Amino acid sequence: MSIQTTLNPYIYPVSSQPEKSPFNAGETLQEKTSPLTVLLLGSGGRECALAWKIAQSPALKHLYIAPGNGGTGAYGQNVDLSPLDFDAIARFVSEHGVDMIVVGNEDPLVAGIYDYFQGREGAPLIVGPSKAGAALEGSKDFAKQFMVRHNIPTARYRSFTAETVAEGEKFLEELRPPYVLKADGLAAGKGVLIIDNLDEAKASLREMLSGMFGKSSATVVIEEFLKGIECSVFVLTDGNGGYRILPVAKDYKRIGEGDTGPNTGGMGAVSPVAFADDVFMKKVEERIILPTVNGLKAEGITYRGFIFLGLIEVGGEPMVIEYNVRMGDPETEVVMLRIASDLLPLLRAAAEGCLGDMPLAIDPRYATTVMVVSGGYPGSYPKGKVITGTDECGDAILFHAGTKLNPDGTLVTSGGRVIACSSYGNDIDEALAGSFKAANALEYDGKYFRRDIGADLKAILNLKS
């Protein structure tokens, strides 16, 4: 089947910003289009999907993934480097002629990898924000203050520390249940508590402030509970007012079917999202994306990379639940399938601060992913289980997450989320059939996956038709 492409309807250069030339002074077209050596940081399904997409680029010379996983080696060369060891990364960059670093996960960004390389001789381009920009994810209090400053719709909130715990309890009394308590700092996706009972919420506030999530919960954001359906919007911005909106996705965070049980990193994803139609996306662009991109610029915060808007639709209106400063996982495992354009020149242009009018073509087909996970996840789980069935997955694209290739070539589990089974389809059912076929075909001890990925979106589509 041929890949049909349509132009993304959400490509609007920001008219108030002068468009910079995509060329640096004295640079020739030859240099501009010379192939790039890229270092991708991270080891999850997200990085496997980014590697898959980047590896298809004619503009790529060589792709390294640090540290990568049992699947990323199919698209580039895994290198045994920690994404947080900036000195080792700098040595690798100079020894291997790396032109551009694509940062997959948030930790190096929040730790300041962008700032680390500024002003260094031979510094590579970096796709990702400065440390100041990464605070949009690294500090929920900073993110909320930013949203208030720029009039971006979000839940009413206040922040508290150990000194103001009594005021925090009073604020809880003013709110209606359920109560939403968020650790200010990074907490590996576990820092948000949603509690029905006021006394329990007060007790949890005290526990958080006395170190439930270490230093991350020394400040706690308490906010109003918002009821609605969530989606993930991704923006690639060049820090100069230029941006592209990537395909919208919905992920499924809870471990159990029907959205029950504990939160996970994400059990599956679907793109497009039925309720994120043109009317909704116009509101998202005008009320959230433009004020975010322009607000960062106005505050002098360098931000050349992905912005992940965790949104909730409340009565037809979009509100921001959270910012992340990277792509989502497992959303990337569907978003990459729907980007028909070569991604590498777009990443390069974003990192250089000049997206200009570079087009972003979107594949109109559906893409879905179903994550197969280890038994016990998101609690404790065994590792080292032998994985078979990878050659019985039909047309699905397997994005490895927690896998490892043993020296003898055996593929084994090495994490909670094991493999994202991604598939295209002309409609949501066809895409899901491809993903579920693969999820069923993969075998290892304790395999689990949610069989209801996409069910809510199918119900919305049925109502619309």
The residues that touch ligand GLY, with contacts defined as CB under 6 A, are 251, 266, 324, 328-329, 331
Instruction: Give the phi and the psi of residue 254 in degrees, each rounded to 5.
Output: -80, 155
Q: Please tell me whether residue 310 binds ligand AMP under the rule CB under 6 A.
A: yes
Residue nearer to ligand GLY on the CB measure, 43 or 324:
324
Distance in angstroms (rounded) separating the CA atoms of residues 95 and 89:
10
Instruction: Give residue 106's identity as a one-letter amino acid code.
Output: E
Q: Please tell me whether residue 225 binds ligand AMP under the rule CB under 6 A.
A: yes
In the bound complex, what is the minimum distance in angstroms from residue 242's beta carbon to ligand AMP?
Answer: 27
How far, CA to CA in Å, does 301 sit from each of 130, 146, 240, 241, 384?
7, 11, 10, 12, 43
Residue nearer to ligand GLY on the CB measure, 44 or 345:
44
In the bound complex, what is the minimum distance in angstroms from residue 45's beta carbon to ligand AMP?
Answer: 17
* 213 Cα distance to chain centroid: 22
Select from 122-130, 224-232, 385-393, 395-403 the region that touches ligand AMP (CB under 6 A).
224-232
Site string for ligand AMP, 174-193 (x = CB under 6 A): ------x--------x--x-
Q: Which residue is nearest to ligand GLY (CB)?
A: 328
Q: Please tell me whether residue 322 binds ligand AMP under the rule CB under 6 A.
A: yes
The interface partner of residue 285, options being ligand AMP, ligand GLY, none and the CB cut-off 5 to 8 Å by kind, is: none
Is the separation of the CB atoms in 88 and 67 below 8 Å?
no
* Chain residues 147-176 in contact with ligand AMP, contact rule CB under 6 A: 155
The interface partner of residue 192, options being ligand GLY, ligand AMP, none and the CB cut-off 5 to 8 Å by kind, is: ligand AMP
Residue nearer to ligand AMP on the CB measure, 180 or 337:
180
Residue nearer to ligand AMP on the CB measure, 137 or 169:
137
Rg (CA), the chain: 22
The interface partner of residue 313, options being ligand AMP, ligand GLY, none and the CB cut-off 5 to 8 Å by kind, is: none
Distance in angstroms (rounded) separating the CA atoms of residues 377 and 413:
12
Distance in angstroms (rounded) separating the CA atoms of residues 448 and 350:
38
Q: Please tell me whether residue 223 binds ligand AMP under the rule CB under 6 A.
A: yes
Using a 10 angstrom Cβ sphere, with 0-12 exposed, 13-18 middle and 19 or more buried, the burial of residue 298 is exposed
Residue nearer to ligand AMP on the CB measure, 316 or 384:
316
The interface partner of residue 180, options being ligand GLY, ligand AMP, none and the CB cut-off 5 to 8 Å by kind, is: ligand AMP
In the bound complex, what is the minimum distance in angstroms from residue 252's beta carbon to ligand GLY?
Answer: 9
* Chain residues 243-302 in contact with ligand AMP, contact rule CB under 6 A: 253
How far, CA to CA in Å, does 18 sit from each of 96, 240, 353, 354?
36, 9, 12, 10
Write out the DSSP string of 340-396.
Answer: -S-HHHHHHHHHHT--TT---EE--SEEEEEEEE-TTTTS-----PBPB-GGGSTT-
Instruction: Give the phi and the psi of residue 234 in degrees, each rounded to 5.
Output: -115, 135
Q: Which of 81, 222, 321, 367 binds ligand AMP (CB under 6 A)?
A: 321
Q: Which of 226, 314, 433, 455 binds ligand AMP (CB under 6 A)?
A: 226
Distance in angstroms (rounded) separating the CA atoms of residues 425 and 215:
45
Distance in angstroms (rounded) separating the CA atoms of residues 414 and 147:
38
How far, CA to CA in Å, does 297 sit from each of 302, 356, 358?
7, 16, 20
Q: Please tell me whether residue 314 binds ligand AMP under the rule CB under 6 A.
A: no
3-state secondary structure of 63: strand
Could you identify the residue written with the tokens 């170190």? 211
In the bound complex, what is the minimum distance in angstroms from residue 183's beta carbon to ligand GLY?
Answer: 15
Residue nearer to ligand GLY on the CB measure, 354 or 420:
420
The interface partner of residue 109, options being ligand AMP, ligand GLY, none and the CB cut-off 5 to 8 Å by kind, is: none
Is the separation of the CB atoms in 368 and 454 below 8 Å?
yes
Select from 4-12, 164-172, 221-229, 388-396 the region that touches ligand AMP (CB under 6 A).
221-229
Residue nearer to ligand AMP on the CB measure, 31 or 200:
200
What strand order describes the sheet that includes 220-223? Answer: 157-160, 220-223, 179-183, 192-195
Binding residues for ligand AMP (CB under 6 A): 155, 180, 189, 192, 223, 225-226, 230, 253, 310, 321-322
